[in-house]
Amino acid sequence: MRAFLLPAIVLGLALAVGALSLYRKLAGLDASAAVQGVLQHYTAPGVRLGARVREVRATVKAPLTFVPHLGFIANPQDRSGVSQVRLLLSAEDRERQGDDGDRVDAIELVTAAKDASATLLVAVAGRFPGAPHEGCVSVGGDDYHREVRYWAVPGDHGGVAVISDFGGDPSIRHGEQVVVSLLAFAGRFDGGRTLRATYAAKSCAQLVGIVP
């Protein structure tokens, strides 16, 4: 009888760990404390990955509006410097009409504050080891690009990307205003799916041929 006791315990633990891992992924909670910590620094406590939209709505001091093919957005009027909070939904959920029961797949904070890009890069780098990965997204065609620098947590437990306007395009969409996004995501970084845009794993300068 005792010979079967240890294998049974090991099997039980394995099943429990597997079930917890599956639950976390299905619930959209597979993000590290470092990722959640970056969000909490700039937003209300209820703005977190994996939360239901209704939970975020209860803590954001601004109306949430559903935008098809994207998710829910709010325009906070506070001193954080964040001009827009975007609750990005999964590919399946964002094609519907939007529901307060939807889980938040990623969160994007948008700002046009002065020196926001440098400030965010320094702040995020202090929470993650190593240099960021570099990439570029094309928005609305091939004539407008945004620089991407992101950190991913080992084990596919989420990450944070800082995305800013690329200055090498023939025309700058926002003129003198530099728009910067901080994107927090759960799970594995998956290029364009994660960033909701056409993505290339090279700098924007390389992508447009400014540098080899």
Q: Model-level pTM?
A: 0.81
Residues found in the chain: 212
DSSP codes joined into one string, 135-189: EEEE-SSSS-EEEEEEEE-TTT--EEEEEEE-TTSSS-TTTTPPPEEEEEE-SS-
How far from 133 is each of 24, 149, 167, 181, 208, CA to CA, in Å?
Answer: 26, 5, 19, 16, 18
Strand 198-200 relative to strand 180-185: parallel, antiparallel, unpaired? unpaired
pLDDT tens sequence for the chain (212 residues):
344 333 333 333 333 333 334 333 433 345 789 999 999 888 888 899 999 999 999 988 889 999 988 899 999 877 778 899 999 998 888 888 889 999 999 999 999 888 999 999 999 999 998 999 999 999 876 678 999 999 999 999 999 999 998 887 765 555 566 889 999 999 999 999 999 999 999 999 999 888 87
Using the structure block, give the residue that is written with the tokens 């570029």: 136
